[in-house]
Amino acid sequence: MKRALIAALAAAIALASCSKPGDKKAEEAKAAATVFAVTVAEAKREPIADYLSMSGDLIAASTVDVYPEAAGKVSRLLVSVGSRVEKDQVIAEIDPSRPGMTYLASPVKAPIAGLVVGLPAQIGAAAAPSAPVAKISRTGGLEVRSYVAERFVSKMRPGLRAELELEAFPGETFKARVREIYPVIDPASRTMELRLSVPDSGERLKPGMYAKVRIFTEEKEGTVTVPADALVKRGEESFVFVVAPDPAAPEVFKARRAVVRTGLLVDNRLEVLEGIKAGERVVVRGQTLLDEGSLVNVVPAAGGK
């Protein structure tokens, strides 16, 4: 028994001495025999749009100040903030009387139809033709006032599509477009003011509401995209691993390295301009251990089917 054990140890030592650590063929054989578990995703042909996120406030698109024709004191206010008025509707009265003299009240009429968004005047306060007693915004005309950081100014231009999300209407989005870009950068905040028009706002949206704004700066149709996690960078090369059956043994899956040229990166979706086609399956988990020709076993993603 002792002699048999000694003989086995000697044989093991002999085999170890014959195998060189840098034996390339042995390493390739070992790699070929290793099967890596990976998760894959399909490259899709779909629209992709880059955007900037910011915040803003809903404001009246056009506001008209209403001035009295006579000086005196405000004797009556016939509207309140939020009231809807028609053109030529009387909204206030001014008493132009002076000590010892009594005059008829001078009516203040709305010059346009719209919504009363401000009432600077109060009953009993002095009024003059140079000071407005009310502010009226045109019905249905709302804008978003927002500010973009200086580093993104070059991406802004009138006509860009935008979407709004309002806390008052969770789960809904409202369409908007960039209408005006102010030509001056604020030196204190390093931002530039934008105005976005909000068409078909109806009566649900109110001036003063807070909005989350998403402005789409670049949009592409029918481009190939993959999850951003699929991209591997080694040195100066960027590539993905494509999984496909081995033609010689269809039940065996192999990984093929595909060098790619990429474009937009939006919400973890990466645009691929060259290197792969829609429908090919790329490795999104387990790719760091792979090399050209590695054998793989495709497993579902955590929580997937």
Residue 289 lies in a domain: yes
Q: Give the C-alpha separation, 271 to 44, whole Å.
A: 10
| pLDDT score recorded for residue 33 | 65
Are 162 and 180 in a shared domain?
yes
Measure the CA–CA gap between 252 and 257, rounded to whole angstroms: 17
Hey, what amino acid is at 36?
A: F
Percent of the chain topping pLDDT 70: 86
Asked whether residue 16 is domain-assigned, the answer is: no
Which residues of the chain, if any, have pLDDT below 50? 1-19, 21
CATH number for the domain that contains residue 149 = 2.40.30.170
The confidence score (pLDDT) of residue 200 equals: 67
**20 belongs to a structural domain:** no
pLDDT single digits (tens) 98-143: 888 989 999 999 999 888 888 998 999 999 999 999 999 876 678 9
Residues 117 and 161 in one domain: no
pLDDT given at position 29: 53
Is 19 inside any structural domain?
no
* Per-residue pLDDT, 178: 96
Beta sheet of 114-118, edge-to-edge order: 63-66, 134-138, 114-118, 84-85
Structurally, the chain folds into a number of domains equal to: 3
Last residue of a domain, which of 186, 220, 254?
A: 220
pLDDT of residue 12: 38
